Amino acid sequence: MDGFRIPIGDWVAGAVAWVKDNLEGLLDFISFIVKFLVNGLTEVLLGTPIVVLIIIAALIAWAVRSLWMALGTAVSFALILSMGLWVGAMQTLSLVIVAALVAVVIAIPLGIWSARNATVRAVLKPILDFMQTMPAMVYLIPAIVFFSIGVVPGLVATVIFALPPGVRMTELGIRGVDSETVEAGHAFGATPGQILRGIQLPLAMPTIMAGVNQVIMLSLSMAVIAGMAGADGLGKLVVEAIATVNIGKGAEAGLAVVLLAVFLDRVTAALGTPGEFPSSLLGMVNRRRASQQASKADAAAEAARAVASPHRAPIGGGAV
Amino acid sequence: MTETALEARHLFKVFGRNPSQAVRRLKAGESRTDTLDAGTAAVIDASFTVNRGEIFVIMGLSGSGKSTIIRMLNGLHDITDGSVVVGGDEIAGVPASRLREIRRENVSMVFQHFALLPHRTVAANVAYPLELKGVGKTERMAKADEVLAMVGLDGWGDKLPSELSGGMQQRVGIARALAADTDILLMDEAFSALDPLIRREMQEQLLELQQKLQKTIVFITHDLNEAMFLGDRIAVMRDGRIVQIGTPEDILTDPANDYVEQFVQDVDRARVLTASNVMERPRPVVADNAGPRTALRQMRDAYMSAAYVTGRDRKLLGMVTDRDAVKLVRKGETQLTSILKPVPQSVSEDEVLMNLFVPAVESQLPLAVVDAEGRLTGVIPRVTLLAALGTGPNSTEEITLPLPPVSHAEIAAVLGEAADAVAPSSTVVLGEAADAVAPDVATEEEVR
């Protein structure tokens, strides 16, 4: 058995070398775009006065969820600031935002495609399994070979790692839309594109948003590992803390990651289910608008009900 | 009215691996279970035509293929074999874009579970087909409001479908199909998901709308009562085949086979059969220019105390009673018009039996049935009304009347004799007496 060994590792290394040699232009282009986006966003975040940024974050939290969430956000961000981790947190935040955006932009079309095509689904499934179960740090090796140390390999690895739930949840959401409703679209002569935009995507939106939420959370967890590839941010601080066995520094950086994670998770989860948070700013605005319309409509509706079904007792409140 | 709106010819639908082989074998006479290895046959050799402006009901239990058929009519299921012609256009094998055009312009659909778009308001749901047609926003919203008013949902346009009850949601479904303004409406178990009271209300409303709009409706149901109530014609399906097509009365009175007959047993006949289905030849009836003697003779032959009087064209003018006629004869007059009384109760031909009971009880004579021009077309004696409610092949045909009672004088005479005799069984005597008068007492068949 000594002589028998399938050299998969060599093959992969060969393939990586080939890509490195022959697709340099493409790799440089990707590298340029990623650096531009991440560094640009980091500069914007760091360029904004810290107080303004905290207020904006709190307002976002209030808009989608509640006043309590806004308060919690302000306290969390203040805590990060007080630990002296503001710059690292903003670097990580911009890495996460860009990585999640890229992953979502790739994942949703792939999910739609695989929902409508059984062959695509069959091909994608093992690939997604592979992407999700391969230890995340392994991606860093070819990524570093391609893009050298820095934020780019970290982001590429993050995107690969965070992509699968986006694809899966999009596919699941679209295939889970009530088939009779889709049939109704067909029955009235809608084109496949009209059915996708007008029926499938809106109805699958809660599931797709749950997928986006997962993408963001995975991006955040991976962004820390990206610190090993030299990406600036909280991850790098954690890696440094491990290298120097610095318990205090590690705990602070870790806590900052958790606080960021909670903020991102709560905001994106609320975006997926807007109806569940009546005390949010958006919820209050919607309700005020709806109640104005309803008061106009109710009188007419009651009259209409009397005409439509005179034998039934009046229905309290109009709607049942 | 008999213009064809939709025609299906030898439709086959087979789901499975080898549909064309299955069709070939089914055509060769193999049964549905024989061809299971090639595919599941959902519809087998179904042919029917739907006339413009009629409600055509396809009825069958679940798994009989009725939902598959209706989806082949607008191309939601592609046709394995055979053809469907909608308003002159063949559906089988047309390109997808043409099919979409036909769906937008010719055929709309109402679904069992409403299939409304939950993220759109009621009005936006109703306007959806117009949006697909490319109608501008203000125009389509105006049309949506108009159609919503038609189905009794004025002012509900701004609500979301989830805020409405089931019956109201299905009204939105109907409004959406009406807004599309197509000639043909496909309704797939449209009322099956509603509770019975609401279902009845919706059925009545559908008939009302249909009277106004005169659409061509193909209605799918598993409920024979619903089929009978709504359908101008009904196709009964079993195991993928159409076993009988006919009017509700045809199906009820002349079921094609045991299967249909079993089905029919549960039908509420009183709501399906109409006066014209059970009425008999009008009797006793006299022309207005006949004399009181003729009238009396008629009454005597029919064992009635009054007779209907008709004018020219058999138009029902009124009735005369035997007492008045006797007086008239004694006075020596010959004009019936002087003793003419108005008919207290008459019903139209298409009234269902349900609505005949009270008039029949209140009517002195067998209930008069008149057509739209007021002509006396038949009468319904109470016994006939009762017999029509039972099942059985003859229940809607004329029946023989029971023997009329023997006259009082005769009974008195016989009882007198019996008192003299040495305790003979009175029943036997009565039987003999009845036999004795039998030659006079002809059955109705004989009088006719």
Would you call A190 and B132 a contact, using CB atoms and an 8 Å cutoff?
yes
Residue in B152, B156, B165 closest to A297 by CB: B156
CA distance B88 to B364: 54
Name the percent of chain B lying above pLDDT 90.
Answer: 32
Residues of A in contact with B158 (CB under 8 A): 293-294, 297
- For residue A76, the model assigns a pLDDT of 95
> Would you mind telling me the total number of residues written for chain B in this entry?
448
Would you call A188 and B76 a contact, using CB atoms and an 8 Å cutoff?
no
Question: Other C-beta atoms within 10 Å of A308: how many?
Answer: 19
State yes or no: pLDDT of B338 exceeds 60.
yes
Pairing of strands B367-370, B346-348: parallel
State yes or no: pLDDT of B14 exceeds 70.
yes
Question: Other C-beta atoms within 10 Å of B372: how many?
Answer: 8
What phi and psi values does residue B350 have, to the nearest 5 degrees? -95, 15
State yes or no: pLDDT of B304 exceeds 60.
yes
Question: Other C-beta atoms within 10 Å of B95: how many?
Answer: 8
Q: Residue B340 — very low, low, confident or very high, per pLDDT cuts 50/70/90?
A: confident
Q: Which of B130, B119, B126 is nearest to B149 (CA)?
A: B126
ipTM of the complex: 0.71
Q: To 10 degrees, the CA torsion angle through A221, A226, A227, A229?
A: 160
- For residue A58, the model assigns a pLDDT of 93
- For residue B404, the model assigns a pLDDT of 65
- For residue A319, the model assigns a pLDDT of 42
DSSP state of B405: P
- For residue B429, the model assigns a pLDDT of 46
Pairing of strands B81-86, B89-90: antiparallel
C-alpha distances in Å from residue B376, one per residue of B313, B343, B347:
9, 11, 10
- For residue B1, the model assigns a pLDDT of 45
Q: B103 CA to chain A: closest CA distance, Å?
A: 5
- For residue B107, the model assigns a pLDDT of 92
**For every one of its 320 residues, what pLDDT tens digit does chain A have, with 9 covering 90 and above?**
567 888 888 898 899 888 888 888 889 999 999 999 999 999 999 998 999 999 999 999 998 888 899 999 999 999 999 999 999 999 999 999 999 999 999 999 999 999 999 999 999 999 999 988 888 888 888 888 888 888 888 898 889 989 999 999 999 999 999 999 999 999 999 999 999 999 999 999 989 999 999 999 999 988 788 888 888 899 999 999 999 999 999 999 999 999 999 999 999 888 877 777 777 878 788 778 777 766 665 655 555 555 555 555 444 444 43
Q: What is the identity of the amino acid at B206?
A: L
Q: Which of B115, B142, B114 is nearest to B127 (CA)?
A: B142
Residue in B108, B153, B165 closest to A187 by CB: B108
Q: What is the pLDDT of residues A33-55, one digit of tens each?
A: 999 999 999 999 999 899 999 99
B positions 72-131 inside 8 Å of A (CB): 74, 76, 100-105, 107-109, 111-113, 115-119, 128-129
Q: CB neighbours of A221 closer than 8 A, spacing ≥ 6?
A: A261
Q: What is the identity of the amino acid at B294?
A: T
CA distance B43 to B64: 8
B positions 190-229 inside 8 Å of A (CB): 201, 205
Contact (Cβ atoms closer than 8 angstroms) between residue B281 and residue B378:
yes
**Residue in B with minimal Cα distance to A296:** B155
Strand order in the sheet with B367-370: B346-348, B367-370, B376-380
From the centroid of its chain, how far is CA B313? 28
pLDDT (mean) for B207-221: 92
Pairing of strands B40-51, B55-59: unpaired
Q: What is the pLDDT of residues B147-183, one digit of tens each?
A: 999 888 888 899 899 999 888 999 999 999 999 989 9
Tokens representing A171?
């596919």
- For residue B175, the model assigns a pLDDT of 93
Q: Residue B411 — very low, low, confident or very high, per pLDDT cuts 50/70/90?
A: confident
Q: Which of B335, B276, B280 is nearest to B309 (CA)?
A: B335
Q: What is the pLDDT of residues B269-289, one digit of tens each?
A: 887 788 888 888 888 888 888
Residue in A188, A202, A300 closest to B155 by CB: A300
Would you call B129 and A301 a contact, using CB atoms and an 8 Å cutoff?
no
Q: Which of B330, B333, B323 is nearest to B296 (CA)?
A: B323
- For residue B250, the model assigns a pLDDT of 87
Residues of B in contact with A191 (CB under 8 A): 100
- For residue A302, the model assigns a pLDDT of 58
Q: How much is the mean pLDDT over chain B?
A: 84
Q: What is the pLDDT of residues B56-90, one digit of tens each?
A: 999 988 888 899 999 999 889 989 999 999 988 88
3-state secondary structure of A153: helix
State yes or no: pLDDT of B416 exceeds 90.
no
Q: Which of B302, B268, B308 is nearest to B290 (CA)?
A: B308
Is the peptide bond prior to B284 cis by the omega test (within 30 degrees of 0)?
A: yes
Contact (Cβ atoms closer than 8 angstroms) between residue B155 and residue B171:
no
Tokens representing A235?
């991850």
Would you call B155 and A183 a contact, using CB atoms and an 8 Å cutoff?
no
Q: B105 CA to chain A: closest CA distance, Å?
A: 9
Q: Which of B180, B232, B299 is nearest to A188 (CA)?
A: B180
DSSP state of A228: G
Looking from the CA of B266 toward its CB, the CA atoms found within 13 Å total 10
State yes or no: pLDDT of B48 exceeds 90.
yes
Q: What is the pLDDT of residues B353-407, one digit of tens each?
A: 888 888 888 887 888 888 888 888 888 888 888 888 876 544 445 555 556 667 7
Question: Which spans in B215-282 are helix H?
Answer: 224-230, 248-253, 258-265, 269-272, 275-278
Would you call A186 and B76 a contact, using CB atoms and an 8 Å cutoff?
yes
Name the percent of chain B lying above pLDDT 70.
Answer: 89
**Residue in B with minimal Cα distance to A189:** B100
3-state secondary structure of B403: coil
- For residue B425, the model assigns a pLDDT of 47
